[in-house]
Structure 1
Amino acid sequence: MTLLQATEVLPDGYTVRAPEPADAEGIFDLISAYNTAVAGAADCTLNSVADHLVEPGFDRRTDGFLVLAADGLPVGYGTAFAKGDRQAIEIEVASQEPTIAAWLFDHTMRRAQEMGRDSGHAEITVDSCVFRADESLRTLLADHDFTTGTTYHQMRIDHTGPVATPETPAGVTVRRGAYDDATRLTAHEIVIECFSGQYNFTPRPHDEWIEYFEASSTFDWSQFTLLEVDGRAVAVRICNDGLIEPENSGYIGTLVVLEEFRGRGLAKFLLRDAFARDAADGRAGTILHVDTNNPTPALGLYLSVGMTPTLVFDGWRSVIPVV
């Protein structure tokens, strides 16, 4: 693969610097306007932008690029986020100006290569999640040897009134909250076991995983739910309040069941339990994201409980040598 040969400097009138926490509102305005233009929905919150700027593993001083117009307003934003041992790196580019988008793509890719080289890798895997409707960015990626590897759907169910609390499956104990180290470690182990081998999954070290949740402004440990069978934790659901501000909706960030306990209705119970709790809290709906290439029939599961797709994204990937 040959990296995009963008200009070494930005066009006249533009400057670039590392983002600061104080830039969160400006970046939010930029990204939500960009998303609305290409996909018809903001799909972004101020809290999510602010949280990402201080997310464990992200060094905004080296891994973020904020492009400003002459009036000082943000017109482009790019990031490179390394996972695990820095062999897998995710890039994000947002700008409605093609020249700026190309510059950001070039520099996030260069930063990704630096990360891989500094970590001793001969090649790296670069991923980017892009709206299906974003023709400009899809073309940019395709022109530089990225190919699609999976598709994600945002799923939603609306709550127009009370939702019945589901009956707990026979032989199952429901544990609410993850307030102690042992429970958190068990939950993390289940998440890793269930997601291992799936597209774009790189497990975080446990301490970083804990730090990630504790750094989030829309999460607390009461939002964990674990299911036990004969005293063994076998399923985990992790929710957060990230979509309350823009959507008045609950959000399910993670829902997993150990393979040997699938087919017992545990996932459906966790979904319906979340719906009931969100409705009782006055939420207008419940939202989650699903990888449609998940080895489990996850999309069918969500459709079967009344959820419908609202946004479509593609996962794009390129494996490139480190030079």
Structure 2
Amino acid sequence: MIPEDSRFESDPDFVIRSELGTDPGLPEGWEVGTPDPADRFDVARLTHLLRAHERHGRGWAGAGVDDVLVEVSEHGLRMRENVVVRDASGEIRAWGSVHDRSVGRMLFVHIVERGLPDDLEEKCSDVLVEWAVGQARAVGAARGLETQQIDTGAFADDERQHAWLAGAGFKRVRTWWQMSRPVTPDEASLTGSPDHWEQDGVVFRLVRRAGGGMPDEGDLREVHEVLEGAFVDHFNSSEETFEEFLFRLREDPGHRWDHWWLAELTEGETPQPVGALVGTVSESSSGPDGSYVSYLGVLEAARGRGVAKGLLRTIIADAAARGRDRVGLEVDADSPTGAAGLYTSMGWKTKYVTESWHRDVPVIPPRA
């Protein structure tokens, strides 16, 4: 269930002082606080910081205002908390965000403006990390855990971020290939209708719509159950309730109900869901939009029957029919499943590389 109140501690000064036991050591007039989502200057500044972080890390920026609002809006704060470091003029110079993602897994966004003196950049980084550690203890305690994982990401070429994370006790645990595949208009006929088609005893279809145009809850639960079952043995998998799953995916700025597909075996008396794909739209301000594979999962018992390939063909055909020019996805470079081989065989190529860095935090601090 989604909690009515956040599991995080809302006072950043309290969190940081609890961890550091002293003043954070920022310059005179600099303050630690929270961003105001109703303040257009705060939102614009956070968007600028996020885009600059992306440009330095991978060469170009893709984020926009909607991506910031996912983190800082009142709706998002049911599962998130934010902190900012402001200079003496009130300008935001660093931003941290934590997300109570699922049991035992807390995501952490960590952005420090570039161009500050080295020691001040590092001091801002330390403030963000110590705040995140304190929040990990708070959310872990609220979930009744002994240890809470902090899961943060970095671009593969961002050496400054790597140094800070390693110095703060994080370990690099995984590499991810961010892949993209071009889509051509003729691929609209790659399947029958991408809304519903069949091949080799497997039906590929959109989730059904109920009254008022909303998706059928039973279908949504099938998607959740398939994905939970498909990823149970995958890297860093953790239990996520249906309510948490639905709440989180609906926050994505690219969320669309008509990008959710089920794959069903039709050999028995009733169709058996064995695969699911959740897609989103990747909007572009300078050209055609793209589609993105947020989740693709196939139950182990149905692997080897072309289910994953069929779902990928479905989103390609759908993208082509919508006039889009690409489909993106993320793949675990260290996965033993061979998924990367399927993607490359179907035309996907790595566009850039990211990493996962983890730190396990004891929920009850050790005695001094």
- Do both share a fold (TM > 0.5)? yes
SS in 1 for 2:274: strand
Q: Distance in 1 between matches of 2:185 and 2:29?
A: 53
The verdict on how the C-alpha distance between 1:122 and 1:250 changes in structure 2, with shifts beyond 3 A counting, is same
Paired position in structure 2 for 1:142: 166
Q: How far apart, in 1, do the equivalents of 2:52 and 2:286 lie? A: 14
The answer as to 2:201 corresponding to 1:171 is yes
1:110 aligns with 2:110: no
Q: SS of 1:283's equivalent?
A: coil
- Say if 1:190 and 1:245 are closer, same or farther in 2 by CA, change over 3 A: farther
Greater alpha carbon shift after TM alignment, 126-135 vs 19-28: 19-28
Closer, same or farther: CA 20–246 of 1 in aligned 2, 3 Å: farther
Task: Give the counterpart letter for 1:76 in structure 2.
Answer: A
Question: 1: distance between equivalents of 2:290 and 2:282?
Answer: 9
2:279 to 236, 239, 262: 239
8 A contact 2:276–2:296 mirrored in 1? yes
Q: Is the 8 A contact 2:96 2:111 kept in 1?
A: yes
Post-superposition shift, 1:207? 1.8
Q: Find the residue that maps to 2:255 and give its secondary structure.
A: coil
Alignment of 1:165-314 (within 5 A): 165-167=189-191, 168-178=198-208, 179-230=215-266, 231-245=271-285, 248-314=289-355
Change (3 A) 1:71 1:158: farther
Q: Distance in 1 between matches of 2:20 and 2:305?
A: 50
* Residues in 2 aligned to 1:144 and 1:317: alpha-carbon distance in whole angstroms: 10
How far 1:209 moved relative to its partner?
2.0
**Which residue of structure 1 aligns with residue 13 of structure 2?**
none
Deviation at 1:73, TM superposition (A): 3.4
Deviation at 1:119, TM superposition (A): 3.9
1:48–1:242 contact (8 Å) kept in structure 2:
no
Count of matched residue pairs: 317
Matched, 1:69 2:69: no
Query: Within 2, Cα distance between the matches of 1:262 and 1:46?
Result: 39
Aligned-pair CA distance for 1:220: 2.6
Aligned to 2:4: none
Change in Cα spacing, 1:217 to 1:129, as seen in structure 2 (3 Å) is closer
Letter of the aligned partner of 2:338 in structure 1? P
Residues 6 and 47 of structure 1: is their aligned pair in 2 closer, same or farther, counting only changes over 3 Å? farther
| Structure 2 residue 55 is the aligned partner of structure 1 residue 36 | yes
**Could you say which residue in structure 1 is the equivalent of 2:118?**
none
TM-score, length-scaled by structure 1: 0.88
Q: Which runs of no fewer than 5 residues in structure 1 stay unpaired?
A: none
Deviation at residue 245 of structure 1 after TM alignment: 4.7
Partner Cα distance (2:176, 2:139) in 1: 27
Please point out which of 30, 55, 58 is paired with 1:14.
30
The more displaced of 279-288 and 130-139 is 279-288
Partner secondary structure for residue 189 of structure 2 = coil
User: Percent identity between the aligned chains?
Assistant: 26
CA contact under 8 A between 2:204 and 2:311: conserved in structure 1?
no
> Aligned partners of 1:143 and 1:205: how far apart in 2?
34
Deviation (angstroms), 1:154: 0.7
- Report the Cα distance in structure 1 between the residues aligned to 2:355 and 2:63, rounded to whole angstroms: 17
SS of 1:263's partner is: coil
Cα distance, 1:225 vs structure 2? 0.9
Shift of 1:193: 0.5
Which shows bigger deviation, 215-224 or 135-144? 215-224
Structure 1 residue 137: Cα displacement:
1.4
1:170–1:308 CA distance, 2 compared to 1 (3 A) = same
Counterpart AA for 1:310: K
> Equivalents in 1 of 2:186, 2:328: separation in Å?
17
**How far apart, CA to CA, are the structure 2 residues paired with 1:241 and 1:35?**
19
Counterparts of 1:177 and 1:74, CA distance in 2: 43
Deviates more, 1:308-317 or 1:44-53: 44-53
**One of 91, 96, 100 as aligned partner of 1:82:** 100
Q: Relative to 1, partners in 2 of residues 1:24 and 1:246: Cα closer, same or farther, differing over 3 Å? A: farther
Which residue identity is paired with 1:201? S
**Distance in 1 separating the partners of 2:311 and 2:22:** 48
Tell me, what secondary structure is at the counterpart of 1:101?
Answer: helix
Which segments of 5 or more consecutive residues in structure 2 lack a partner in the other structure? 1-18, 115-120, 192-197, 209-214
Higher mean C-alpha displacement, 40-49 vs 223-232: 40-49
Q: Residue 315 in 1 paired to residue 345 in 2? A: no
The offset of 1:132, in angstroms, is 0.9
Cα deviation code 1:69-110 (max 9, x no counterpart):
34443321102222334x322222001333322221221122
